[in-house]
């Protein structure tokens, strides 16, 4: 589906590991086993080099300088935008707005589109498995406008209850904002189906793709979503850069989010006119180097092939799930049939914080806590979980190290 060239070759994970310098480091005298990519990914050397090269030999402000250096920086920045367009298979690069991260993209839509389109008594439909970033901006908007937030429930496996979703969609619904892949459970939601149902009732859809884009190829034209958001830092790119995709026809109707330099056509003290999208939404000097780094990360991923990455992660998830099922007193939270590489779990004998401390002593980095998704923790009646998130650079041997480290937890606490 994606316009990106896909290689049929399976992922050579040992070669991939060599691309990430941090994976050769040790902590507490043990080689780093990094299972926290869902929080933020590590960076390949090509991305690190791109930043160094740009700051060493290519840096200038963009869209204004008349000298060669600025023209070159502008070209690199706009090329990065086109890479994001290609990565999402969007039709037009004007549909790609650079932002800091998925959180900012959602806030942009809430404050620009939302303030214009949502009124008293209107409803916004989210789900019980949302990250706080896809709850709080809508909650704030609803409070401001007297609108109502409706929540699609999640079943015991961690899948959306689709019948309930359908029945929540009404003529009061102004927007559906749902995650493509859950950060806390790993559930891959049937995004295309969710969009179809909403569109059948004339309701636009925002998909939070922060956890989806690192793991699978995403085609916004095929999904037909109205907005799609993601963060670069989870996509092997620098932190501080992300993207909002919006259908051009929708972006064109939206007022500015932030105002200032760069996003204007003309300014007098009487009146200011604004640029067309995406410039309208990019006030001030952006993270130029970050955008270029994001473009390089996308090149890197496309060279490996998103399908090869997805296949490897799928294999690794199946292996890790089987190993976890052998551990007495361990319960996996989130057992959706369609699942990305996230293993959230609780142990009978130990709290997630104790688990994470002990795992850290073995060099294993995991997340413990509520994963910025407190409502879904409440849904499963756990205060927190330990989460091991798998990525393209993880191996079966690392899963074995993780399982052995969990063994130390049971030894100490069991």
Q: Which of 106, 368, 390, 392 binds other proteins (CB under 8 A)?
A: 368
Which is closer to other proteins, CB of 292 or CB of 356?
Answer: 356
As a whole number of angstroms, the distance between CA 56 and CA 41 comes to 24
Using DSSP's 3-state secondary structure scheme, residue 52 falls into helix
- CA geometry: angle 97, 100, 104, nearest 5 deg: 80
Non-local (6+) Cβ contacts of 106 within 8 A are: 133, 134, 137, 177, 206, 208, 229
Q: Give the one residue of 17, 132, 275, 351 binding other proteins; rule: CB under 8 A.
A: 351
Taking the complex as a whole, how short is the minimal distance between the CB of residue 345 and other proteins, in angstroms?
Answer: 15
**DSSP assignment, residue 182?**
-
Report the alpha-carbon distance of residue 191 to residue 187 in Å, rounded. 11
Q: Is 370 in the site for other proteins (CB under 8 A)?
A: yes
Look up residue 119 and give its two tokens: 């009124």
Structure letter (DSSP) for residue 47: H
For residue 307, the 8-state DSSP code is H
The reply on whether position 133 binds other proteins by CB under 8 A is no
The verdict on 137 binding other proteins (CB under 8 A) reads no
Look up residue 323 and give its two tokens.
Answer: 């190993």
Q: In whole angstroms, how close is the CB of 334 to other proteins at the nearest point?
A: 17
* Residue 372 appears among annotated catalytic residues: yes
- Tell me if 176 sits within 8 A of 109, measured CB to CB: no
Cα–Cα distance, 322 to 308 (Å, whole number): 21
Residue 340 interacts with other proteins (CB under 8 A)?
Answer: no
| 412 contacts other proteins (rule: CB under 8 A) | yes
Q: Between 119 and 383, whose beta carbon lies closer to other proteins?
A: 383
Minimum distance of other proteins from residue 220's CB (angstroms): 34
Q: Is 377 in the site for other proteins (CB under 8 A)?
A: yes
Both tokens of 226, joined, read 């109205």
Q: Quote the tokens at residue 403.
A: 């399982």
Nearest alpha-carbon partner for 387 in 88, 145, 109, 182:
182
| Residue 296 or 376 having the CB closest to other proteins | 376
The answer to whether 233 contacts other proteins (rule: CB under 8 A) is no
Q: Which of residues 17-76 bind other proteins (CB under 8 A)?
A: 28
Q: Would you say 30 or 199 has its CB closer to other proteins?
A: 30
Residue 370 preceded by cis peptide, ω within 30: no
Alpha-carbon torsion angle 254, 218, 220, 136, nearest 10: -30
DSSP symbol at 256: P
Q: How far is the CB of 394 from other proteins (least distance, A)?
A: 24
**Shortest Å, Cβ 32 to other proteins:** 17
| First-last CA distance in the chain | 49
Site membership for other proteins, residue 201 (CB under 8 A): no
Q: State which residue, 115 or 351, has the beta carbon closest to other proteins.
A: 351
Part of the chain binding other proteins (CB under 8 A), chosen from 35-43, 71-79, 277-285, 362-370: 362-370
Q: Which of 154, 191, 384, 388 binds other proteins (CB under 8 A)?
A: 384
CB of 177 to other proteins, least distance (A): 23
Q: Which is nearer to other proteins, 43 or 370 (CB)?
A: 370
Catalytic residue annotation: 372
Which residues of the chain form contacts with other proteins (CB under 8 A)?
28, 350-354, 357-358, 361, 368-370, 374, 377, 383-384, 408, 411-413
């Amino acid at each position: 589906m994606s316009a990106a060239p896909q290689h049929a070759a399976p992922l050579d994970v040992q070669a991939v590991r060599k691309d990430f310098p941090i994976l050769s480091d040790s902590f507490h005298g043990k080689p780093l086993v990094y299972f926290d990519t869902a929080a933020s990914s590590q960076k390949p050397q090509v991305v690190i080099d791109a930043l160094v090269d740009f700051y060493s030999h290519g840096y200038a402000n963009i869209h204004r300088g008349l000298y060669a250096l600025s023209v070159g920086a502008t070209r690199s920045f706009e090329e990065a935008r086109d890479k994001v367009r290609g990565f999402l298979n969007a039709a037009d690069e004007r549909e790609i707005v650079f932002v800091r991260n998925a959180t900012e993209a959602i806030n942009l839509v809430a404050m620009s589109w939302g303030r214009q389109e949502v009124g008293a008594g209107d409803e916004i439909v989210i789900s019980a498995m949302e990250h706080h970033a896809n709850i709080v901006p809508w909650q704030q908007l609803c409070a401001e406008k007297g609108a109502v937030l409706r929540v699609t429930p999640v079943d015991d496996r961690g899948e959306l209850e689709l019948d309930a979703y359908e029945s929540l969609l009404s003529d009061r619904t102004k927007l559906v904002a749902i995650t493509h892949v859950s950060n806390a459970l790993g559930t891959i939601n049937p995004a295309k189906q969710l969009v179809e149902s909403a569109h059948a009732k004339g309701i636009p859809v925002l998909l939070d793709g922060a956890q989806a884009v690192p793991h699978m190829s995403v085609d916004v034209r095929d999904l037909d979503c109205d907005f799609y958001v993601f963060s670069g830092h989870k996509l092997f790119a620098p932190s501080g850069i992300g993207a909002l995709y919006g259908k051009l026809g929708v972006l064109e109707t939206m007022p500015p989010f932030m105002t200032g330099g760069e996003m204007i056509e003309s300014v007098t003290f009487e009146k200011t006119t604004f640029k067309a999208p995406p410039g309208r939404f990019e006030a001030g000097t952006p993270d130029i180097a970050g955008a270029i780094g994001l473009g390089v990360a996308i090149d890197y991923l496309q060279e490996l092939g998103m399908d090869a990455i997805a296949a490897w992660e799928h294999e690794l998830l199946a292996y890790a799930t089987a190993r976890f099922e052998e551990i007495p007193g361990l319960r996996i939270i989130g057992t959706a049939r369609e699942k990305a590489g996230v293993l959230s779990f609780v142990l009978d004998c130990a709290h997630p914080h104790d688990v994470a401390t002990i795992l850290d002593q073995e060099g294993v980095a995991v997340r413990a806590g509520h994963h910025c998704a407190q409502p879904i923790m409440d849904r499963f009646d756990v205060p927190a979980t330990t989460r091991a998130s798998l990525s393209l650079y993880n191996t079966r041997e690392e899963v074995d190290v993780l399982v052995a480290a969990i063994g130390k937890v049971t030894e100490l606490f069991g």
